[in-house]
Amino acid sequence: MNAPAQLAHLVPDIQQRPMPAELLAALQSRFSSQCSTAMAVREQHGRDESVYDVPPPAAVVFAQNTQDVSDAVTLAASHKVPVIPFGVGSSLEGHLLAVQGGISIDVSRMDQVLSINAEDLTVTVQPGVTRKAVNEAVKSEGLFFPIDPGADASIGGMAATRASGTNAVRYGTMRENVLALEVVTASGEVIRTGTRAKKSSAGYDLTRLMVGSEGTLGVITEVTLKLYPLPEAISAATCSFPTIEAAVRTVIQVIQLGVPIARCELIDANTVRMVNAHSKLGLREEHMLLMEFHGSPASVKEQAETVQEIASEFEGNAFQWATTPEERTRLWTARHNAYFAAIQSKPGCRAISTDTCVPISRLADCLLDSVAEADASGIPYFLVGHVGDGNFHFGYLIDPAIPEERERAEVLNNQLVARALRLEGTCTGEHGVGLHKMDFLLTEAGTGAVDMMRSIKRALDPDNILNPGKIFAL
Amino acid sequence: MNAPAQLAHLVPDIQQRPMPAELLAALQSRFSSQCSTAMAVREQHGRDESVYDVPPPAAVVFAQNTQDVSDAVTLAASHKVPVIPFGVGSSLEGHLLAVQGGISIDVSRMDQVLSINAEDLTVTVQPGVTRKAVNEAVKSEGLFFPIDPGADASIGGMAATRASGTNAVRYGTMRENVLALEVVTASGEVIRTGTRAKKSSAGYDLTRLMVGSEGTLGVITEVTLKLYPLPEAISAATCSFPTIEAAVRTVIQVIQLGVPIARCELIDANTVRMVNAHSKLGLREEHMLLMEFHGSPASVKEQAETVQEIASEFEGNAFQWATTPEERTRLWTARHNAYFAAIQSKPGCRAISTDTCVPISRLADCLLDSVAEADASGIPYFLVGHVGDGNFHFGYLIDPAIPEERERAEVLNNQLVARALRLEGTCTGEHGVGLHKMDFLLTEAGTGAVDMMRSIKRALDPDNILNPGKIFAL
């Protein structure tokens, strides 16, 4: 079945390069048991949370240190064979798929927290450390790392996709929270970008160039992150609304007043129902804002009062507070389980996730029209949003065995992205481009800007071996 | 007189390319009175606040819109002649100097505030708008733009140098506060980077690549900035300390506790004396912290109490509060006039400014050893610091007619930078590299990272016409 032109990204361009026997022998000689060509291992490294079906990489190297990565890249480079960095495999847009063949470099064994500098609020980790492991490591210092994509993703992967999550409204994204990197370049050279200084004007911002480059400009082998003092007080609240619009208008006013809210999530009534069914939670089945406030006890109280006042102007009701860690965990579990709850609601289904982000003043327009379209389509979906940032996700639940369902979902996604771009927003707030949004990026950024990206790629990776075929076609 | 090897940057590499008569004629035909070759105009555009003496550019084009910039660059590109963007001329490191000749593109007439989106806390401006003009324009919306380098710099120039200032400790630098750009590339093409969405994972972060690229990758023709609600309450305070160390230890603890202090500046006793003499202020002539707190009245009160408590543990005394706008302005005038007060203290002198930034835990080590060295040298200096960020400036006051004074100052600067790099810091927190710190950048970032910058530069500007000779030698 041929996809319509505007849905070309349904079918990725697969042109796997050959794996020379000489390279495979060299890898096996250098890495012995750290190098695998077992089909099960290759298959596990040849997929992510996207819906694409692509043959797996030819081999997997399990790197244990920077030298391993450098040696694997150097060997691959000598044969112009692709390398694809792999963390925990939680990317959503096909980032990990071996569309041009090559070697998956698995960094999950590079899982050391190298140094915690509590006084400077920084931590330096290897790329395979997960976000939860970072938090476990720094907790005893009274610190935390706020960036929390749904999955317990690796820090290297989070840097590579410029990830964010529920805390971004207050603490920013990986863009703002990576201070410095160690990177293996396309030639296998090891370079460092940035220092532990909080700010710098020393030359081009290579750190920010690497963050969000999805493995196409280098393999990240070390990351220095900003940390934050654990708030003295934390309070979470839920509030129910009669309409999505009322919830969104509340959020807009909270942000515009400059309330330093730490988390501000929307869950629509339908998704609350799914979560209740999945997690036995008994939440009120209306559109819901799930919020969190961080600060001193007085400041948290003040923020919460302000927000409650605004919410009540928009018919927000049934304010529920959670101040103990247990109650808070219960509420946030609802949010974090939305994806799994939705998947379970339609056995055998997969979710096609959207990721638009718009200026907050355009959020209601963008969201309400898209909800109407999704409802009209008849495709079941879940809807959650980091609405404090103007970012939200539909997850269209489709049967992968029915191509027509996938196409209808992608048509909805196309319409949503077109709307977000008209409203001065972006096609991806936090998931990245991968294979799925290459056409959208071209529309969003324009040929000139994408050509600039291509020029940079060609300059830094002339043989196109670093995760080729992602972000843009060369 | 030959400078010692480590002071090679005292003498910039001047190799001015010829200005073809044909190009000059084409510029004059296209721009008529907007193009000047008058010596006074060229000289004004051929210098900045650095100490370098370089022949001026061959011509100055006063651009009034993006098309003007694009046409000027296109004409220059056709003859491989350099273009140097010029805002208000307040850069400190030789950024504006025509070391390879060419055309200065003055964007100061591109001074329109294009759109204020109060609901989204964003403003879009032309590059010649100054930071004070931005604030004037958004004040009536109850908003402000926090980035404040000492000078009333242009927004284009501030983006190009990744500027910051006194508010960065709370609000970040230009790195965090530029959302999107319009840029004229080396071929004269107009591209856009970023959108008005608060976050995005859409491809390479061209916005951050341009911010801090010092005019070497493109000419910025439009900037979208983040704004902030004017704080409900603002309170400023000064506190005196018996030693610099006591002041710095206070700051370190304030930052580590996560107090959201908005400004936290150090002025040493000597500089307070200069400021008193210059501005007739009657400030207590001890080492001083100058602080500001933003927030709700309750939060400001809480922050101030916490800081006062910490300061008193370190023998901080004579806490003085300024809550009215007039009192606050008086105190901040002291800080902003430090440079001029110092210059006036030694008639005919120039200041050689340092700009190191270190992790906050290393600030005392870095600062105290450098003060001891400066005192031992006998060269008069002023000392001010954005100490909440670990960033501080010595201004060594030298007689430009006595080369030996300049060399001694540069030796001090070299020692200071070497120390900051040992302490995991950077040679420049906010001024940029320009001509002055090219050697330092190489030491700080390493050959591999600087080679990566060079590759990007060559890819985006193959004829090296965009502000050539800055940041690194090609």
Domains of chain B with bracketed CATH: 9-106 (3.30.43.10), 113-229 (3.30.465.10), 231-345 (3.30.70.2190)
Q: What residues contact residue B361 under an 8 Å CB cut-off, 6+ apart?
A: A117, A119, A120, B252
| Length of chain A in terms of residues written | 474
Please say whether the beta carbons of B74 and B118 come within 8 A.
no
Intervals of chain A under pLDDT 70: 1-9
End-to-end CA distance of chain B: 26
Find the mean pLDDT for residues B272-283.
90
Closest residue, chain B, to A356 (C-alpha): B200
Closest residue, chain B, to A299 (C-alpha): B299
Mutant choice from B201, B427, B433 vs A, greatest count of A C-beta within 10 A: B201
Buried b (16+ CB within 10 A) or exposed e, B410-431: bbbbbebbebbbebbbbbbbbb
Is the per-residue pLDDT at B165 higher than 70? yes
Instruction: Measure in Å the smallest separation between the Cα of A199 and chain B Cα atoms.
Output: 6
Is the per-residue pLDDT at B395 higher than 70? yes
Is the per-residue pLDDT at B84 higher than 80? yes
Please say whether the beta carbons of A209 and A96 come within 8 A.
no
Find the mean pLDDT for residues B76-85.
98
Q: What residues contact residue B134 under an 8 Å CB cut-off, 6+ apart?
A: B113, B123, B125, B145, B155, B225
Is the per-residue pLDDT at B3 higher than 70? no
**C-alpha–C-alpha distance, residues A291 and B155, integer Å:** 35
Q: What is the pLDDT of residues B123-147, one digit of tens each?
A: 999 999 999 999 999 999 999 999 9
Mutant choice from A124, A204, A421 vs B, greatest count of B C-beta within 10 A: A204
- Reported in sequence order, the residue ranges of A242-349 that DSSP labels E, i.e. its strands, are 263-267, 287-295, 317-322
Closest residue, chain B, to A218 (C-alpha): B452
Please report the pLDDT score of residue A9 as a whole number: 59
Mutant choice from B199, B427, B437 vs A, greatest count of A C-beta within 10 A: B199
Contacts 24+ apart (CB under 8 A), A460-464: A460/A185, A460/A186, A460/A217, A460/A218, A460/B452, A460/B455, A460/B456, A461/A186, A461/A216, A461/A217, A462/A186, A463/A77, A463/A80, A463/A186, A464/A82
CA dihedral over A449, A455, A460, A465, signed as positive or negative: positive
Please say whether the beta carbons of B92 and B49 come within 8 A.
yes
Provide the token pair at B350. 């120039």
Closest residue, chain A, to B443 (C-alpha): A202
Provide the token pair at A132. 């939860």
- Reported in sequence order, the residue ranges of A247-370 that DSSP labels E, i.e. its strands, are 263-267, 287-295, 317-322, 350-353
Nearest-by-Cβ selection for B205 from A175, A191, A433: A175
Nearest-by-Cβ selection for B213 from A204, A260, A430: A204
Is B198's CB within 8 Å of A298's CB?
no
Is the per-residue pLDDT at B5 higher than 60? no
Number of other CB atoms surrounding residue A301 within 10 Å: 15
Is A192's CB within 8 Å of B445's CB?
yes
Q: What confidence tier does B332 reach under pLDDT thresholds 50, 70, 90?
A: confident
Please report the pLDDT score of residue B7 as a whole number: 58
Single-letter amino acid, residue B31: F
What percent of chain B lies above the pLDDT cut of 90?
88
Tally A–B CB contacts below 8 A. 284
- Taking contacts as CB-CB distances below 8 angstroms, the residues of chain A near B440 are 202
Burial label for A98, CB within 10 Å (0-12, 13-18, 19+), is buried
Is B430's CB within 8 Å of A201's CB?
yes
Rg of chain B's alpha carbons, rounded to an integer?
22
What percent of chain B lies above the pLDDT cut of 70?
98
Instruction: Measure in Å the smallest separation between the Cα of A117 and chain B Cα atoms.
Output: 9
Q: What is the pLDDT of residues B258-270, one digit of tens each?
A: 899 999 999 999 9
Please report the pLDDT score of residue A7 as a whole number: 58
Provide the token pair at B51. 């100490």
Is A175's CB within 8 Å of B208's CB?
yes
Please say whether the beta carbons of B392 and B379 come within 8 A.
no
Please say whether the beta carbons of B304 and B250 come within 8 A.
no
Please report the pLDDT score of residue A4 as a whole number: 47
Q: Could you give the angle at which helices B269-279 and B338-345 cross, rounded to 10 degrees? A: 90
Q: What is the pLDDT of residues B403-423, one digit of tens each?
A: 999 999 999 999 999 999 999
Please report the pLDDT score of residue A5 as a whole number: 45
Is B206's CB within 8 Å of A471's CB?
no
**Nearest Cα to Cα of residue B377 among B407, B357, B345, B402:** B407
**C-alpha–C-alpha distance, residues B9 and A462, integer Å:** 33
Q: What is the pLDDT of residues B198-226, one digit of tens each?
A: 999 999 999 999 999 999 999 999 999 99
Provide the token pair at A436. 């799925």
- Taking contacts as CB-CB distances below 8 angstroms, the residues of chain A near B358 are 197
Q: What confidence tier does B256 reach under pLDDT thresholds 50, 70, 90?
A: confident
Is the per-residue pLDDT at B1 higher than 50? no
Instruction: Measure in Å the smallest separation between the Cα of A222 and chain B Cα atoms.
Output: 15
Is B429's CB within 8 Å of A199's CB?
yes
Is B452's CB within 8 Å of A191's CB?
yes
**C-alpha–C-alpha distance, residues A295 and A300, integer Å:** 5
What are phi and psi for residue A16, nearest 5 degrees? -70, 130
Is A190's CB within 8 Å of B425's CB?
no
Is A202's CB within 8 Å of B117's CB?
no
Please say whether the beta carbons of B237 and B141 come within 8 A.
no
**C-alpha–C-alpha distance, residues A283 and A264, integer Å:** 17
Return mean pLDDT, chain B.
94
Please report the pLDDT score of residue A3 as a whole number: 43
What are phi and psi for residue B436, nearest 5 degrees? -80, -30
Q: What is the pLDDT of residues A358-401, one digit of tens each?
A: 999 999 999 999 999 999 999 999 999 999 999 999 999 999 88
Is A197's CB within 8 Å of B428's CB?
no
In which element (H, E) is residue B450 found? helix B438-460
What are phi and psi for residue B84, nearest 5 degrees? -125, 115
- Taking contacts as CB-CB distances below 8 angstroms, the residues of chain A near B162 are 199-201, 205
Q: What is the pLDDT of residues B420-468, one digit of tens each?
A: 999 999 999 999 999 999 999 999 999 999 999 999 999 999 999 999 9
